[in-house]
Chain A
Amino acid sequence: MADFAYFLGCIMNNRYPGIEKASRVMFEKFGITLNDMEGASCCPAPGVFGSFDKTSWLSIAARNITIAEDMGMDIMTECNGCFGTLFETNHELAHDEAAKEKVNEILSEVGREYKGDIKVRHFAEVLYNDVGLDQIAAAVTSPLDGLNIAVHYGCHFLRPTADIGIDNAEKPTILDEIVEATGAKSVDYRDKMQCCGAGGGVRSRDLDVALDYTKDKLTNMEAAGADAIVNVCPFCHLQFDVGQTEIKKKTGDEFNIPVFHLAQFLGLAMGFNPEDLTVDVHQIAVDSALEQIQKLDEITGGE
């Protein structure tokens, strides 16, 4: 199978390294090599760079893409924000000759040139299309039967559909299918496709608004009986994990719903050590979910 240029970004590697660890181990098992993109930077953050100055946003993103172009590999990233920035930049520069020229003039200052000959792909889409549900299901050693999961797609994984086209953005199934390959159940909940609240620079500029979104989502997930949240974006992950403590501080509302990035979640199902997944340092304890998995293990004898 194809190898990828592995784009890290910021929040995953600099806050939740268990996501990175799980991904590296998992893809090795699936026979896919994740190659480091040496010297890559922030994607850059779409909420700030995209909002402040489009040319800066495109240029830094294009620089990151040129690293993968030099490697001759498609990019894989597991952050919706990074995916949005890199995909959109790649898309725009491929379709807008003037923008490409402008960006290349800037990149020439550092001896780089954007060519547009690689693809930008999202980790979850690679799992679904390249690895496939069968191989994922076959790799599950600790089935998560009986665990109710609230899947959170986030925004920039699927949207804008006109450009990305991975799945139907109003009613997608791709993540639910991956989650259910572990034996867990994906529960439907109200406003499932709504944003976590962190995007567009809203978290840093107006935390109250961001947390109002998050509380909305958590309330709906709780009402649906979710045991845990599974996301595919470290920023959404942070918003749900840290956000729950912030909501508690601000309003006194406690949810205590464990949060897993899909890489961590699959890691659990594949029998990885929870400590290697760094789920023990999450703000919201994941014990309740792990205990339930433990219980299931006892019943099924761990198989």
Chain B
Amino acid sequence: MNISNTVKITPELVAEHGLKPDEYERILKLIGREPSITELGIFSAMWNEHCSYKSSKVHLKTLPVTGKIVIQGPGENAGVIDIGDGQACIFKMESHNHPSYIEPYQGATTGVGGILRDVFTMGARPIACLNALRFGSPDHPKTRHLVSGVVAGIGGYGNSFGVPTVGGAVGFHSRYDGNILVNAMAVGIADTDKIFYAKATGVGLPVVYLGSKTGRDGIHGATMASAEFGEGAEEKRPTVQVGDPFAEKLLLEACLEIMAKGCVVAIQDMGAAGLTCSAVEMGAKGDLGITLDLEKVPVREEAMTAYEMMLSESQERMLMVLKPGKEAEAESIFKKWGLDFAIVGHTTDTLRFLIRHNGEEMADLPIKELGDQAPEYNRPFTETPKLPVLDASNVPAPKSLGEALEKLVASPDLCSKRWVWEQYDHLILNNTVQRPGGDAAVVRVHDGPKALALSTDVTPRYCEADPFEGGKQAVAECWRNLTAVGATPLAITDNLNFGNPEKPDIMGQFVGCIRGIKEACLALNFPVVSGNVSLYNETQGRGILPTPTIGGVGLLKDFQNSATLAFKSSGEAIVVLGDTRGWLGQSAYLATIFGREEGAPPPVDLAAEKRSGDLVRDLIAKGRVTAVHDCSDGGLLVAIAEMAMASGIGATLELSPGGIPPHAFWFGEDQARYVITAPALALPEIEAAARAAGVSAMRLGLTGGEQLILPGERPISMAELKKRHESWLPDYMAAKN
């Protein structure tokens, strides 16, 4: 063994690399000697939580990941599903939480860049991006700055790259004050027979470095993302990378061209832990060794050490194994796009990860064990105690329903997010059938008529109150949103954001949510094909609300046969499908009007979800309904108000049925419900179909006029309501409220 070992490996150094003493012992046992500093860096990159999933793996394995339409489940750069006609949809969601808190613009851009790379690495052309953002309380002094930076960053990257950002979610809660969440999702399309994987095959083949040059940015980014924030998190700014969407756009075009020319054996993007992680993945998956000669790596800074090169997280880089004899052709394509192209190593049959720098051996490690032998923890957890069911009679009625409605639609969580999505180019590529602001975005595939429906969902306060029901609800709501536009839900990607897994109660939240997700995915035939786990979202010991964001993809055979939420004309019946019981525990009504987050969240009856969803999809396909909206935060009255505001048409509502207090009826958040409209003549048929499907249908009123009229209350002007709905966020960002 001739490894340069110039730095003494002390316990402090081991700790600085985020490795626990027993993990270091494991390294010593594995390689039989003290590691070099470069090797220690490589282990820290491979064995941190972000890359190794060491706390989550044992639970992730329980999720349903297979199905008729699944071509590739979790474990590759992104998930792949079959959408018919020889086409595949490739998609994934990933977090960039820690960096976005430290440097919101660059943290968000590199989050978008990373997830786009995951998708086009597999041979797909990205067709849409979505995101899910969680910020701290609007009153927190940093929130405005973070919202402004993150939104500009997401737009700054996607707009320049040239992919429409078509949907997402934005929420606020004081529990994100010190740890915001930035979850970005990318969706691409490829031919099913032209999908590229990370697994390398063949010995002695060139390993090629593509894209931007390597600098010292982002060193230890993944390690930072695997620890809690203490005081002075801002000092970690140098670990945040800088995004270059222009370079990524060129990389996309060059990669797709090189793939089309048949040059590529295997490809892996350099994301977290850069060169280390990508090379190890390619070798370990293909049962091959990899030898790298670092002096050949294109660098933009002088005198970079092997350690720095192996841990750099410079963006917009790829690693490829080329087919023999294709080097010149591949190189000419990359040169045409003005990108770096360098043969930096080759595959071997030794199963060793050998790093040389100017002829000197800097690391020599067993490649499979680097990935496979990462520590795996079955961390102790305590179940989250169940909260009592809150009786509606314990929740006060509002002064008037109308006044409560006005407050709800102008609240930070339920107000219009136009200020956000108008900063995203959501129209480029000319395929955006349904724009942001609806239940799900609808994006045409090529020239249609096929289209994909896309949505991201989770209700963190439900997950906090009951992780199991909350996990179920996140999946069910996503499924419902896709259904509400008429799509058949196909599969999901999950982005699991939690606090410190070393705390049993946090681990309990994680385990509970996973169980809920699993149960819902099984019941709704909605497998998980990709995902990402983000733990340690804590600052000074305070964790975020458990936030398992679900990103779903659904299929519309003909997008002209889709539904939207806006009322279409006056005099139509407004009907709710699904049971209304008036569940106020953890409701937006309770939280917004009274500042109370109490009680058990609404239970999710998955069989009922399936019944009502299948009914709604069928009614849309048959053209029986004129508008459809999923009923979620804020209950029936908020859903109806949103349908009215989207159209400018008002509504006259009937008295709520006896037995349920009116505020519980109108604001309760019972699940498995949709609000639809239909011409009066179509009602008997709809009601018959609902009866046959075992779904209740209740008439709520009629569309029409320019006001929203509740029995016995002052009519609400639609124009006024819409103004309040639209103005909260712009006013907040301009510091006017």
Q: Bound pair: A and B?
A: no
Interfacial residues, chain B to chain A (CB-CB below 8 A): none
Residue ranges of A at the interface with B (Cβ–Cβ < 8 Å): none
